[in-house]
Amino acid sequence: MDSVLLFFYRSPVFARTTLANMKFPQLLSLLLVSLAAVHAAPISHDEVVSNAAKGLRLLSLSEGADPVWKTPDEVLDLMRAGTKFFDVTEVFEDQKDWVKPEGKVMKSVEAFPTPSHQTSVKSIISTLSTSNMNSNLASLTAFNNRYYKSSTGASASTFIQSKVQSYIDTYSRSDVTVSLFSHSWVQSSIIAKIPGSTPSNPIVIVGAHMDSINLSNPTSGRAPGADDDGTGTVNLLETFRALLAAGFKPTSPVEFHWYSGEEAGLLGSQAIATNYKNAGKKLKAFMELDMSGYFKPGSKEVIALEADYISADLNTFLRALAAAYSTLPVTMDTPCGYACSDHASWYNAGYATSFPYEAVTGNDDPQIHSAGDTTSVSGFSWTHSLEFTKLAVGFVYELAI
């Protein structure tokens, strides 16, 4: 190699093209050639199509690192080991032009208000019903599992859609809609929309995931998913019901999302966040509710704010909401980690997110992803979960009214 360089150095061709003399395009191509030499070739369209057709999945395992191909068995092993990831197989190409936010905490994207509609919000909160939440959860846990690729997972999705439609009908709100967001697998995500009187205003979104998983046997094993994420799912259903019952007609559009396939790598939320961002949709804020029904017996009962892939300003707003509308103190959790829940899909798309969680990590539900995730677990509490429904009512009302 040295002798070759020497040859170029001494040759008249090299003398005429020293770096200083190079035109910008020449310099750029030299840089690109050297970069290509040290990095693997970028993932091409053909590679995505052919590997996906073979059943391989493209996983993003950590921030800033290139995603990697895994077999379905390797994907399951990662889940069993508790490794969180984005499965980007179906969104990778649609996100190619994205500039992902730097760091794990977003600052000052939006100004959030001080809670100022306490009379109205408290009056809606007084109508919230844990018995509605309980009965909806009983329907959800009655499915053998809500795995995103199982037929009972698909039926759970239909159940949520019908329940939302029944609230729309009960409260005669023909302006409110519910629809399926379908995917390449059988369980659809569900989106309910309350229109804003100023439709161009940024959208306020609350989300939860409808799917559950039995890690030893995902397709047919029992996975009641009462807490993960049956609780978040029914927090949203009851928030939606109570707002409609109160005749809530916001200025800004409001959406309720129930995601498919969270447990398999945030599949539903990534598909929707990617669709929204590429359509140029503006969001005021996104809040995820994923597990709200448990805190370890004997531990201090709190609302734990997840500390990463969130907006610091939105967390400040949540603290003010909790002070106004919840009986629980707020504390910061330890970082939840990469791809920890659906909020991360929205954070990646550059939107302001928050994720209030049932307890600090370690005091949260130890039974998730198993046949034991039921409401009979000691530490499961409807009054605890209700605090998160209150938070969701305050979140939607104060941001969208």
Residues near ligand NAG, by CB under 6 A: 214-217, 221-222, 370-371
Distance between CA 301 and CA 384 in Å, rounded?
A: 8
Contact present, 293 and 227 (Cβ < 8 Å)? yes
Binding footprint of Zn ion, residue count (CB under 5 A): 3
Q: What 3-state class would DSSP assign to 194? A: strand
In the complex with ligand NAG, which residue's Cβ is closer, 70 or 222? 222
Nearest distance, CB of residue 371 and ligand NAG, angstroms? 4
In the complex with Zn ion, which residue's Cβ is closer, 225 or 250? 225
Three-class secondary structure assignment of 137-148? HHHHHHCCCCCC
- C-beta nearest to ligand NAG: residue: 221
In the complex with ligand NAG, which residue's Cβ is closer, 214 or 345? 214
Please tell me whether residue 373 binds Zn ion under the rule CB under 5 A.
no
Nearest distance, CB of residue 364 and ligand NAG, angstroms? 17
∠ CA 198-203-207, rounded to 5°: 145
**Which of 87, 229, 306, 333 touches Zn ion by CB under 5 A?**
229
In the complex with Zn ion, which residue's Cβ is closer, 232 or 250? 232
Q: Using N-to-C axis directions, what is the helix angle for 312-325 and 118-125, rounded to 10°?
A: 70
Q: Is 79 exposed, middle or buried (0-12, 13-18, 19+ CB in 10 A)?
A: middle
In the complex with Zn ion, which residue's Cβ is closer, 238 or 364? 364
Neighbours of 306 (CB within 10 A): 25
Out of ligand NAG, Zn ion, none, what residue 71 binds, judged by CB under 5 to 8 A for its kind, is none
In the complex with Zn ion, which residue's Cβ is closer, 67 or 225? 225
Q: What 3-state class would DSSP assign to 280? A: coil
Nearest distance, CB of residue 217 and ligand NAG, angstroms? 5
In the complex with ligand NAG, which residue's Cβ is closer, 308 or 365? 365
Please tell me whether residue 227 binds Zn ion under the rule CB under 5 A.
no
Distance between CA 322 and CA 316 in Å, rounded?
A: 10
Token couple for 146: 């809500």
Nearest distance, CB of residue 293 and ligand NAG, angstroms? 18
Q: What is the largest CA-CA distance in the chain?
A: 86
Residue type, 326: S
Nearest distance, CB of residue 258 and Zn ion, angstroms? 12
**What are the beta bridge partners of residue 177?**
193
Number of alpha carbons in the 13 Å side-chain half-sphere of residue 30: 10
**Which of 228, 238, 288, 308 touches Zn ion by CB under 5 A?**
228
Please tell me whether residue 290 binds Zn ion under the rule CB under 5 A.
yes
Q: What 3-state class would DSSP assign to 221? A: coil
- Kindly list the residues in this chain that would bind Zn ion in the complex (CB under 5 A): 228-229, 290
